[in-house]
Every structure is written in structure tokens, then in C-alpha cells.
Amino acid sequence: MTEMSSTIAPDNPLTRMFAALLIVVVCCAPSVVASGQAEEHSVAGVVTGIDGSEAPRACVSARPVGPSAGNMGCTEADEHGAFTMRLRPGEYIMRAKDEAEGYPDPNFLLSTDPSAKFPRVVIGQSDVSGVRVVLGARGGVLEGRVRDKATGLPIVGAKVTISDARAPAAYVEVFSNKDGAFQFTVPARPVIVSAAATSYEKGRPEEVALSGGRHVSIEINLGAR
């Protein structure tokens, strides 16, 4: 009985094919992985006010233009308004806000401000520095409570609408919490505030104007239907 060996002879065509495939996998696999991971680069700059003053602790974000993977979270500037973040290659719009100090979130149409300077940066194969982001006019922080007019109890989940007094199409909607409270940083121009809730009459609109980082509290009382 002839003994059969499981070893394939070195000059067998199958051996040569397997060796060639092995070389391709070993040599090329690392480059495929590397091409799918774009290298990040450092972006550094400073956030200032319109007058050039430092904006400490401002929140900076990079909004991608197109399919770039942006930094939609917040990178906090230091005590002098300086910031550094890392981004993949692409084009971005650099934005900033500081809601606690009266500089509203620029992502809302209500907060559009032509005096703000949000530059575009293009990330290529190297780091970018010297980026200057300028906050717009300083608005204020509007806070308040929505209550039942008869009982004085808080109304939970009331819809509070804050709109531009001169351009009603620019508005935001926030909702009262378990204490009937709400808060929003508004731009430095007149806004109209109104509230509505299920089983209640809509509240009378109220005009409010805040600037210079002021904090103002209002109370909205709704009557039951």
C-alpha cells in the first residue's frame, strides 16, 4: 500500500500561487488600512469680542463644509480665549459662543449676527494656526417660569417661543422643566416671548430686549381653558 504525503512539492503551481497571494496580502494590507484613516492636524487660534477683547472660556466648534468629519462638540478656550483642536483634512467654518456671558449659539437663525466673524479654514497636510473667531454683539440670558394663573403651580412642558421682534420667521422653541422654568441666551435685539401648553390659553406675547450680558427673569401665567 502506497503511503500518500500531504506535502505539496515546492515546484507545484498551487504552491507558487499561494505564495504570490500571501505576498500581496502582507505587503498591501497595511496601506489599505492607512488610506482609510486620514491624519488629523492641529488647528489653533483665539476667540475675541468685536472690540478685540479676549473671550475666556468661549466654546469653539468646527462645522464641516461638505462631507468632512467635523468637531461638532465644544472645545473650550483658555482664560485668554486661545484654543486648539484637532481636525481631519477638509473645509470647516469655525464658530464660537459663550451663552453664560450673553453670546448666543450661532447655529440658531434667531442668533444670526453679521458683526460676528466665523472664518473658514481648510485643513490640508499640515497644522493651521492664527485662526481668529470674533463673537457678535453681546446679548443676554433670558430665564423665566410658566405657571398656572389660578393656582400658581408650575406648568411642566410648556412650549416657550422666542422670536425676533422684527423678523418673526427667526425663532426658537424651548420647553419648561419640572419646575416650570426655562432659560435661553438671546441676541442683542428685541425678541417676543410667548408660551403655550395643553389645556391652557396661549399667553400674551411680551417684548424683551437684552444686551451687555444682562440676566432677566420673567414670569408667564397661563389661564386654563
Chain-wide mean pLDDT for the chain? 86
- The answer to whether 41-134 and 140-222 have equal CATH topology is yes
- What is the pTM (predicted TM-score) of this model? 0.79
Cβ atoms of 114 and 188 closer than 8 Å: no
CATH architecture entry for 41-134: Sandwich (2.60)
Does 31 score more than 90 pLDDT? Answer: no
pLDDT bracket for residue 71 (50, 70, 90):
low
Q: pLDDT per residue over 76-100, tens digit each?
A: 999 999 999 999 999 999 999 999 9
Three-state secondary structure readout of 148-189: ECCCCCECCCCEEEEEECCCCCCEEEEECCCCCEEEEEECCC
pLDDT attached to residue 83: 98
In angstroms, the CA 91 to CA 109 distance is: 22
Cβ atoms of 192 and 128 closer than 8 Å: no
Q: DSSP E strands: which ranges in the chain?
A: 41-48, 59-65, 71-76, 82-87, 90-97, 120-123, 128-134, 140-148, 159-164, 171-175, 181-186, 191-196, 206-208, 215-222
Does 22 score more than 50 pLDDT? Answer: no
CA distance to 10, 145, 165, 192, 197, per residue, from 203 (Å) = 89, 12, 16, 12, 9
In angstroms, the CA 111 to CA 120 distance is: 19
How many CB atoms are located within 10 Å of the residue 146 CB? 28
pLDDT attached to residue 66: 78
In angstroms, the CA 199 to CA 108 distance is: 29
Would you list the domain boundaries of the chain?
41-134, 140-222
Q: pLDDT per residue over 97-112, tens digit each?
A: 999 999 999 999 999 9
pLDDT bracket for residue 210 (50, 70, 90):
very high
31 versus 164: the higher-pLDDT residue is 164
Query: What is the percent of the chain where pLDDT is above 90?
Result: 80
Query: What is the percent of the chain where pLDDT is above 70?
Result: 81
DSSP state of 213: T
Can you identify the CATH homologous superfamily of domain 140-222?
Carboxypeptidase-like, regulatory domain (2.60.40.1120)
